[in-house]
Structure 1
């Protein structure tokens, strides 16, 4: 994807929506916007609104029940749920705090009377079942039309009494060996009236790319953190207590890792079979196969659009400054966008080494 130079300044706006239907209630006057898209997580948004603005109507702008969508040149860039609001009467400001659509599924459960059971089903079809269940029982209409089979089979079993949290179930399956990246996409729904829909997007790991970035050429690498705390020569994943004090478990290792022995352990209290733990142990070991470099950078203004940098995308970052010597591929773990009162757009990225993600190929 070619670098773009001299892009026109974007116009940002924020609309309030009805969470159940996506219908636009009003456009909010804003004093500042900040939003993040996080790999395999909900992401957040913060919006400043004048406290006395008539559009900020307490009868309709309700925390926990209203939706927000951030528009860039009238195209939805971020969508989610208003979970908090902070009114500063002295300053005359109202700060709205929202999280992406995935946060909704932290409040939904696989609570059918017979629970949920599937054996050797494609992970994509399992996801479609879960969303269909939520949509049919008072949900937010998450669309899964673009989700296609992956060829990776999973088995899952939860009773009604386990009340399995849907967001947690999705997160766990994404983190499995041969898992996937996911995000929720806000988009304009077709039909009468302006309505913002939400679509679940599933992608094979490392299937998207972003333009090459070089420190002091088209970006500013502000920091690089190096993390060795997750290094593991051996990894163990334990399951649920079977009632006898024994637990199923699986183990995986990194025999090529140098240095003293280091062990990583995780427990998955709702997994009851060794077979389901094998991919968990392998994923833990793969993350612990090498130190993780975590650069943070800010894009030079007017060179790119935020949509060129989707969380989960892979690209090369170059930086040479003392201890920091980077010329390698990284995965975007978070994209943040800040828009000030003048409409100036600042895009920042947090990244992690591609090799860690490659160890868990999709």
Structure 2
């Protein structure tokens, strides 16, 4: 394994560093607004296995001075013939998907970031207002934990909603936010910091050009999920069911680009306010407003930019050429970073989404 990589493990509940894992190869992914994963191989003769209990330890991947990934061990398997084991881990956010909202939580005109922080501390990390609700106390937060968007939200104990799903739903509504967890050294401990970002991404001056600083083997254009009419249904039944509609009428009527109506429906039975339903419908229209043009990007190993220079949530510009001719010049947000390290070297791939899908598009015209 490349010398610049270390794999460190710590006790989940205390954060105490226990040591390093002598892995032979590794792969990991960082995913925006969702858990990623990591896989390692280790010789069965090189390690005391008694410490590696699922959910007891956190595993961190360090490259140079940066910690690029962190999360709990959840499973491992032995290959008796090869005398090696494969360790499977999930990123730290996966833990909070395993927690439930077990007490009424009501928010009126609260910043959506403050809602997230309160919910996670009260029902996930165990350092909120309910002392009986144990947790690892694993996260730190930005000082304000605010995004500038106020929301009304009510979560009832009897609904037993998943904490992770609630946060991800808040993130995904129109006007929502991106989130991720950063990891870094603070003295002899590793800090897990919850971060908020704009749904359109964080601007950078990074430019990726095919055959210059990366490989772009393919560019795909996909209109499968285009939408001009979005309807989202919420709480209630029959004629009393809450419903929100949103339209992209210019795509249906502008002679230079008109297409026939494309409809999509989504059910959000737990939503009891029309404004929230409308936010989901708006986001459906934004994401389906144009064909999605996606370049496949692989970073060159040992070159800039590398895995430590990019992260999910950043905006980058991508400019591939064919035969010297520019075929794309667009702004993209990184949604996933995937790295694989073997004896053959380091491979890094980026998953991208066009920035324009986060623009406000359409109107609430009558159906």
Q: TM-score normalized by structure 1?
A: 0.89
- The separation in 2 between residues aligned to 1:208 and 1:164, in whole angstroms, is 34
1:321 Cα deviation (Å)? 2.9
- The separation in 2 between residues aligned to 1:239 and 1:324, in whole angstroms, is 45
- Give the structure 1 partner of residue 76 of structure 2: 85
Residue deviations 1:114-171 (CA, integer Å, cap 9, x gap): x211111110110110122122232232111345322211111121111111111111
Native 8 Å contact 1:30 1:47 kept in 2: yes
- Give the structure 1 partner of residue 364 of structure 2: none
- Give the structure 1 partner of residue 365 of structure 2: none
Native 8 Å contact 1:331 1:353 kept in 2: yes
- The separation in 1 between residues aligned to 2:33 and 2:328, in whole angstroms, is 25
- Give the structure 2 partner of residue 120 of structure 1: 109
Native 8 Å contact 1:13 1:74 kept in 2: no
- The separation in 1 between residues aligned to 2:144 and 2:185, in whole angstroms, is 18
Residue 62 of structure 2 is aligned to residue 71 of structure 1: yes
1:215 Cα deviation (Å)? 0.6
Among candidates 108, 125, 144, match of residue 135 of structure 1: 125
1:221 Cα deviation (Å)? 0.6
Among candidates 160, 170, 173, match of residue 173 of structure 1: 170
- Give the structure 2 partner of residue 325 of structure 1: 327
Residue 94 of structure 2 is aligned to residue 103 of structure 1: yes
- The separation in 2 between residues aligned to 1:228 and 1:279, in whole angstroms, is 22
- Give the structure 1 partner of residue 24 of structure 2: 31
Residue deviations 1:155-204 (CA, integer Å, cap 9, x gap): 111211111111111111111111111111112244xxx33231111012
Distance 1:359 1:91, change over 3 A: farther
- Give the structure 2 partner of residue 195 of structure 1: 189
Q: Where does the alignment leave 5 or more consecutive residues of structure 1 unmatched?
A: 1-8
1:233 Cα deviation (Å)? 1.0
Give the count of matched residue pairs. Answer: 343
Distance 1:288 1:87, change over 3 A: same
- The separation in 1 between residues aligned to 2:5 and 2:179, in whole angstroms, is 25
Among candidates 235, 239, 255, match of residue 234 of structure 2: 239
1:39 Cα deviation (Å)? 1.6
- The separation in 2 between residues aligned to 1:211 and 1:324, in whole angstroms, is 18
SS in 2 for 1:222: coil
SS in 1 for 2:154: strand
Native 8 Å contact 1:248 1:273 kept in 2: yes
Residue deviations 1:43-65 (CA, integer Å, cap 9, x gap): 1111111122224x1x2201233
Native 8 Å contact 2:173 2:276 kept in 1: no
Distance 1:185 1:219, change over 3 A: same
- The separation in 1 between residues aligned to 2:47 and 2:3, in whole angstroms, is 25
Distance 1:203 1:147, change over 3 A: farther
Q: Where does the alignment leave 5 or more consecutive residues of structure 2 unmatched?
A: 127-132, 252-257, 362-367
Residue 7 of structure 2 is aligned to residue 14 of structure 1: yes
1:225 Cα deviation (Å)? 2.8
Q: TM-score normalized by structure 2?
A: 0.88
- Give the structure 2 partner of residue 299 of structure 1: 299
- Give the structure 1 partner of residue 212 of structure 2: 217
Higher relative contact order (CA 8 A, sep 6+): 1
Q: How does 1:268-283 map to 2 (within 5 A)?
A: 268-283=268-283
Runs of at least 4 residues of structure 1 off by over 6 A? none
